[in-house]
Structure 1
Amino acid sequence: MQVYRVGGAVRDRLLGLPVKDIDWVVVGATPQQMLDLGYQAVGKDFPVFLHPKTHQEYALARTERKSGHGYTGFEVQASPDVTLEEDLLRRDLTINAIAEDEHGNLIDPYGGQADLAAKVLRHVSPAFAEDPVRILRLARFAARFGFAVAPETMALMRQMVADGEVDHLVAERVWQEMAKGLMEDKPSLMFEILRECGALARIAPEIDALWGVPQRADFHPEVDSGLHTMLVLDYTAAQSWPLATRFAALCHDLGKAKTQQEVLPRHIGHEARGVPLVEALCQRLRVPSDCKELAVLVCREHTLVHTAEQLRPETVLALLMRCDALRRSERFTQLLDACLADARGRYQFENCAYPQREYLLNMRSAATAVDAGAIAAQCANPKEIANAVAAARVAAIGLAKQAWQNSTK
């Protein structure tokens, strides 16, 4: 019985990155032997055990054989006869197929160290094509490490898409990998790779349809809507903003997609065009409600936010109420962050001033300061309370706007 560190723990150590989780593979053991040593069985699809003291996961060396479509159609064989090299062969990428023994010796039969040095993502074997989740994982690793994709691996992913393997992915798994990729340092790389191999058009056609849509060059030197969206997304990542803000940035311009321009009348603004697409994308991928709600708000309101200083107090209050800004201040701040990213996600505008964010936060504070309870107590007719409170808030916003204008002269 031999035990090896494998996968991400070895990869990250070689890259000089912090090692978070350690995966172990056990060669030459049976499930009963593991139980006799005090390990606790936890694996359902294949034998995985928890160490009796550290509670880390130890998996028996195994091979896999494709038996159906998608990422669940596999037959697993785990026995003492499976070698370490055979276990590593079933892994997705060469950089994840490096093992380390108890003495620190590396076992690297498929060239993972060379690919780490060359910053290349390369599949270990043709078995890569048996699991479409690997396309998503590879794209996510590209976003994390900034590595390029080996030409033969890109060709294989394109063939997987053509063969319909990606169509068998379940929504939860797509969102899981997409969410992880959105939280990487350079999330745009994930979408660029998914688009290059054709997978993006299958799993998120609303996003894929942004590329090739031109924009006004005086406002958008990057011209292309898809490229602009990637710049906006990467800006949110550079600020270390949360998942909901990043997803909202990804979806903010969906109304500019070619599909919407062909279907809806031209007089309908791209904000209104985009909301149904955001909702459709979120429903299909089963996106969590916090991400969905913020994405809808940003898609619908970002253009109005950009003109905040020119809005009448009544319009500002209406915007605040639509966003539920008086009660949900954190979400409103995230909306403004996404709008800031939209403004700065353009060539030559990366550091542009964006007073609209602070301005609307000031207007929100003014509206929140109105004592609705006191106003309600003074209203003889309960039906007049809502209008009286709204009028007081409009007046407070008007005064705050005047003070803002005086301070910026």
Structure 2
Amino acid sequence: MMQWLSNIFRLGLKELRSLYADPVLILLIAYVFSFAVYAVATGAKLEVINASVAYVDLDRSDLTGRIIGAILPPEFDTPQEIAASDLDRVMDNGDYVFVLSFPPRFEADVISGMLPEVQLNVDATAMVQAGNGSVFLQEIITAEITKFVARDDTSTSLPIDLVVTAQFNPNLQSTWFSSVMQVINNITILSVLLTGAALIREREHGTIEHLLVMPVSPSEIMLAKIWANGLAIILAAVLSLWLVVQGILAVPVAGSIPLFVAGTVLYLVSVTGLGILLATFTTSMPQFGLLALPVLVIMNLLSGSTTPMESIPNWLQTAMQVSPSTHFVAFSQAILYRGAGFETVWSNMLVMVGLSAVFFIIALIRFRQTMAADH
């Protein structure tokens, strides 16, 4: 046993030296866990910000002026008035995301209770802004009309007092979500790529033959690659959480970092094993990249990190339970967003242990077959 552990440790040191000697991979790790996290968190906004609005006012009444005046930054740019004949043109050109059209006698019809129509044209190609922004505009129009009819600027005369409390992200900032999810997704991507690239590199450099004549077993070689590459990824991920997410982006991390690291170690066994498994079916880095790309896309898009699992069809939710990324995302979100403890996430950790064992065994069997064929 001691010799087995010693071999794993020494082979892992070899992997770390090989990684250190590859400036491209070092640069990739640094980029993915620093600038890439910052760029995605600050560039990909899910909330409505500076949405362009135009309006056609055929009534020019006090009511339409109040509604236009209530459409304010930072959600919306200052509304621009256009002529009715320009409405189709500006929508076709994509000049505005929203165009409001008020009919003649709008205020008089509201006062007389005739239920006049207000047309809201939405450029739905800007999907996120279109969906959320149209809801905001409907709320603004409803509130202003209600206050106008009631002649009360302080109350909308609702029969209830609705109190909304946003937990874990009180200001509903997409940066809080996207920055942490980017770190989690990058762990999956680099775990597959680094371990797979390590095996491909052995073949391309001819060092796989050296391993074949050494008194080491396939399990020792695999575990060495797993712990060495996994250590680099965990260190980079923790530094990213501390320096980029918490430091630069000022996003609070609610839960225990050590508990997150413990779960990440369990997850890495399965996902790095997957990287080795994919590498055994290829002979070059381009082939490995083409094979890994669709696997990574499916794992990330359907893991719950991009869209909630509840939004995925039931049969696909069931199928994705065999993916370790699904359980790792749930585990990470519970800890980093909601501050969950071990008593909450132990079931996710147990599932990751089982999946890691399955993926490791399958990868080990395939790796042994590949080494026997090479030998």
TM-score bin (small chain): under 0.3
Structure (1 or 2) with the greater strand fraction: 1
Which protein has the larger Cα radius of gyration, Structure 1 or Structure 2? 2
Q: Give me the TM-score of the superposition, normalised by structure 2.
A: 0.24
Structure (1 or 2) with the greater helix fraction: 2
Q: Give me the TM-score of the superposition, normalised by structure 1.
A: 0.22
Point out which structure has higher relative CO (alpha carbons under 8 A, 6+ apart): 2
